Structure 1
Amino acid sequence: MAQIDYYFSTVSPFTYLAGNRLEEIAAKHGATITYKPIDLMALFPRTGGVPLPERHPNRNDYRAQDLPRLAKVSGLPFNLKPMYWPANAAPSSYAIIAAQKAGGGDVGALVQGILRAVWAEERDIADDATIGACLEAAGFDPSLAFSGMLVGAETYAANLEEAVNKGVFGSPFYITDDDQRFWGQDRLDHLDLHLAGEL
């Protein structure tokens, strides 16, 4: 059975625009997913990335055109300038880590719910009530927003170090158990082909 390590940030628009395609691909191939939220702002300076405010205007202008196009193609509602962005990604990341450890719900739905809260619903994912509601909607105990903070913080830091060591430099980033790496929601078709043995 194939295994996919999924490194992502809960404030990344490109991660949001992946929708549930990763989960569909994994189900198609009988693959398992390990969800590994990372601190993207800490990852960038260590791997050659540049935060949005420091990028050249040409890059930011392109981003402003490209993201709405990608959203239209994906069929997902999207707000280019959400009210609560950039939010502190740590609390929602801790909750995802705790939920994955606890089990009993749908981690993929939780991740998508948190991303949708940012990019389509004008909700603050650093807020405990928002995180609790996303947990509950995905079938988890909403109290994980509080009880999972310690293990979440430790794993969140470890995920970052692991990501750097495994060649991750952006979000979303997918690594298979045979060390094939795929960066970006626009590479999910390639991941699909690889798992099918065609790429």
Structure 2
Amino acid sequence: MAHIDYFFATISPYTYLCGIRPEEIARAHGATITYRPVDLMSVFTRTGGQPVPERHPSRQDYRLQDLARRAALRDLPLNVKPAFFPTNPAPSAYAIIAAQEAGGGSLSTLVATMTRACWAMDRDIADDDVIRDCLTQAGFDPALADKGLLAGAEAYHRNTEEAVRLGVFGAPFFITYGDQRFWGEDRLDDLEAHLSGRI
């Protein structure tokens, strides 16, 4: 069976723009998917990338234009300069890791809800109440926000180390069985074409 490792960051606007499409693509092609939140700043610094404020102004300007266009194409609301960015992504990542372990809800909805909270609703996804609300909306026990924090931190670290080892350098990043790699929300169509055998 085909499998997708989905490396992402809850503070990534391009992860937000993916919505639930990665899950829909996997399901349509009989593939399984593992959600692997990573420390994106660590990935950047270790693979030659730069945090947004350190990029050349021309790159920062292009990013804002690109985000607005991608959001319009996806018909999604987007604040390109949200109130709580950057924020600490670790607590939301730990909650997603705990939810994946616990089961009982929709992980695709949880990731979409977490990222929407940041990029469309000006909510702080480092805040426990916001995390609990997102867990609830996705059908998970909101108490997961307070459980397994050490295990979550360890898994978050492992995900980040594995991401760097496998060649991940940004988010979202998809790696299929057979080591086909797809970087960015704008490569979801390519991922789908690969899973269907067209490329």
Q: What TM-score do you get using the length of structure 1 for normalisation? A: 0.99
Q: Paired residue for 1:17?
A: 17
1:68 CA displacement = 0.7
**How far 1:148 moved relative to its partner?**
2.5
* Aligned equivalent of 1:7: 7
- 2:122 is paired with a residue whose SS is coil
Residue pairs, 1:23-172, within 5 angstroms: 23-172=23-172
What amino acid does structure 1 have at the position aligned with 2:66? D
Runs of 4+ in 1 over 2 A off after TM superposition: none
Q: Distance in 2 between matches of 1:21 and 1:142?
A: 24
One-letter amino acid of the counterpart of residue 176, structure 1 = T
Q: Give the aligned partner of residue 176 of structure 1.
A: 176
Unaligned runs of 5+ in 1: none
Percent identity, please: 63
- Paired AA for residue 35 in structure 1: Y
SS class of match (2:35): strand
Determine if contact 2:77/2:120 at 8 Å carries over to the other structure: yes
Q: Decide whether the 8 Å contact of 2:19 with 2:108 is kept in 1.
A: no
Deviation at 1:139, TM superposition (A): 0.8
State the match for 1:195 in structure 2. Answer: 195
Structure 1 counterpart SS, 2:142: coil
2:150 & 2:102 partners in 1: Cα distance?
A: 14
C-alpha distance in 2, partners of 1:132/1:148? 14
Tell me the alpha carbon deviations over residues 90-115 of structure 1, each in whole angstroms, 9 at most, x when there is no partner.
00000000000001110110000000
Q: Secondary structure at the match of 1:76?
A: coil
Number of equivalences: 199
Give the unaligned 5+ runs of structure 2: none
